[in-house]
Amino acid sequence: MTGTPGSLSSADDDFTHITNSMVSIKPPSPPVETEAERDEQAKYRLIYSKSKVYIHPTAYARDNIPGFISIVKRDAISPTYFLAWVPETLLGERGNDEWSKFLRVEAEYGSGVHGLDEEEGKS
């Protein structure tokens, strides 16, 4: 290095230029959740299901669509219950795990092992 103390050489100028043009990486700030995102992350629980519930789109029996009727609970500060009908073909596409969940819940209610009141701790 040449020059007087306190003066910058060309190498120092290059280093200063590089460090000033570098991008600083900061840790991400915690995400701000919207109400819709919280709903998406809420836990949903299948609490009742019944198979062989048919939709009759026409007067002809051949057009009937078999499915499951179910009650699903969204766990939150104030729980919400949903009544749903899911066609059997959709569960078949999702795999055996989904199908067995619906059948297991149906069997629990059919055998009297589990009741809707038990779900809420009212038994």
- At residue 118, φ and ψ (nearest 5 deg) are -65, -35
pLDDT tens per residue, range 58-107: 999 999 999 999 999 998 888 899 999 999 999 888 888 888 999 999 99
Contact predicate 97/103, CB 8 Å: no
Strand 65-75 versus strand 43-55 pairing type: antiparallel
Q: Where are the chain's structural domains?
A: 42-119
What percent of the residues of the chain are helix, what percent strand, and what percent coil, each to the nearest 5?
Answer: 40, 25, 35
The 3-state DSSP class for residue 71 equals strand
CB proximity list for 101: less than 8 A, separation 6 or greater = 46
Query: Residue 8 above 60 pLDDT?
Result: no
Q: What is the reported pLDDT for 59?
A: 94
Q: State mean pLDDT over 52-56.
A: 95
